[in-house]
Amino acid sequence: MVRLDVDIAGLRLKNPIMPASGTFSEDLADVFDLDLLGAHVTKTITRGFRGGNPTPRVCEVGGSMLNSIGIPSKGVGYFLENVVPFYQAYETPLVVSISGNTADEFAQLCAEVSVPGVDAIEVNISCPNIEEDGKAFAIRPSSTFEVMTKLRRATALPLWAKLTPNTGETSEVARAAEEAGADALVVANTILSMAIDIRTRKPKLGNLMGGLSGPSLKPIALRMAYQCARATKIPVIGCGGISTVEDAVEFLIAGASAVQVGTATFINPTAMVTIIDDLSHYLEAEGLSSVREIIGTVEDGEQREGVVFMEAAP
């Protein structure tokens, strides 16, 4: 029997497959037993009520999708009363995804969701920071360090920082999060994108721009996961376009200790269950006894990142 369990900064997961925030909810329990998953990751909540963005909130782009949902949230009170108790019926650890408009509001929410039944907090620092002209916290190392420092003080629970691909400073942002006390990095969120209907000349999303997810995002997220694994000593959780066991294994080889599956669940609601099964078979076929044996085994010839960048530049 192949071992699938992994350790994310002291939190043991029975397998390295979990949902990406925003693509999972209690509703999926209608389809399969949610205790099959390595972790449960909630949709991002904010402290207060948020209605979300105008429709259309989704469109297709060449085998992937754009979304601009806008973090609709019923607020922290509803969450603590209804959502946390739902997940307490399961053995699987609960990871709560949170967001805030300012670092202080973010930290306050972080403290409020640090309750029994919550096993880790994923901080969505890819969301816009209204104190920084709407730029996401995780675009710059300085704003990442500042918000993560406040979040770290607000909770004793494991803190996972979800990074954004909308930055040119991936390694620096990753190190800033680590220095400020992040226990793990989730790499990464969606990348800012756009699509226009040439018939109506209107943007296809009600919010004009939105996040790209699905298979097109995978190479970008994989590159970032690799960079983050090299730049820091904390566990990296890969996220971005993972649809199959091959995709998941690619992230593990790049250095991720676990992966999140998002958009693929919209196409096949049982995608995560399939990937868990296929991961056992893959490891068995490779003659491995534990998934841990494959993490970070990329044969990169120990090249320095700077050299790789220069050669990759167009």
Partner 1 sequence: MSHIHQIAPAPKTYELELDVLSNEPVNREYRLLVLRAPPELLEKCRAGQFFHLLCPQMGGQAPYLRRPMSIYGVYPEHGELHFLYKVTGEGTRALAMLRAGHGLNVLGPLGEPFSIEPEWDRLVLAARGVGLATLAPLALEARRLGKQLTAICSARSEDVLMSVDLFRNMGADVITLTDEDGSSSVENLEAVLIALIDGPGIDAFYTCGSNRLLKLLQKLGTRHGIPGQIALEQQMACGLGMCHCCVRPFQKEEGIVNLRVCREGPVFDIQEAMAW
Q: 10 vs 85, which CB is nearer to partner 1?
A: 85
Q: Which two tokens stand for residue 139?
A: 């675009």
DSSP state of 16: S
Using the rule CB under 8 A, is 246 a contact of partner 1? no
Q: 270 vs 290, which CB is nearer to partner 1?
A: 270
Which of positions 126-165 make contact with partner 1 (CB under 8 A)?
A: none
Q: 69 vs 253, which CB is nearer to partner 1?
A: 69
Which of positions 6-65 make contact with partner 1 (CB under 8 A)?
A: 22-35, 43, 51-52, 55-60, 62-65
Q: How far is the CB of 52 from partner 1 (least distance, A)?
A: 6
Can you tell me the distance from the alpha carbon of 237 to that of 161, in angstroms, rounded to the nearest whole number? 10
Residues 6+ apart with CB under 8 A from 6: 12, 13, 15, 16, 38, 257, 258, 291, 292, 295
DSSP state of 90: S
Using the rule CB under 8 A, is 196 a contact of partner 1? no
Q: 227 vs 263, which CB is nearer to partner 1?
A: 263
Q: 103 vs 264, which CB is nearer to partner 1?
A: 264
Which of positions 84-113 make contact with partner 1 (CB under 8 A)?
A: 85-86, 88-90
With CB under 8 A, what is the number of residues at the site for partner 1?
44
Burial class (CB in 10 A: 0-12, 13-18, 19+), 21: buried
Would you give the binding string for partner 1 spanning residues 252-291, x where CB under 8 A is met?
-------------xxxxxx---------------------
CA gyration radius for the chain? 19
- Active site annotation includes 59: no
Q: How far is the CB of 30 from partner 1 (least distance, A)?
A: 4
What is the DSSP code string of 180-242?
Answer: TT-SEEEE---EEEE-EETTTTEESSTTSEEEEESGGGHHHHHHHHHHHHHH-SS-EEEESS-
DSSP state of 35: G
Using the rule CB under 8 A, is 79 a contact of partner 1? no
Annotated catalytic residue, options 110, 127, 228, 239 = 127
Phi-psi region of 11 (alpha: psi -120 to 50; beta: other; left: phi over 0): beta
**Residues contributing to the site for partner 1 (CB under 8 A):** 22-35, 43, 51-52, 55-60, 62-65, 67, 69, 72, 81-82, 85-86, 88-90, 214, 265-270
Residues with catalytic roles: 127
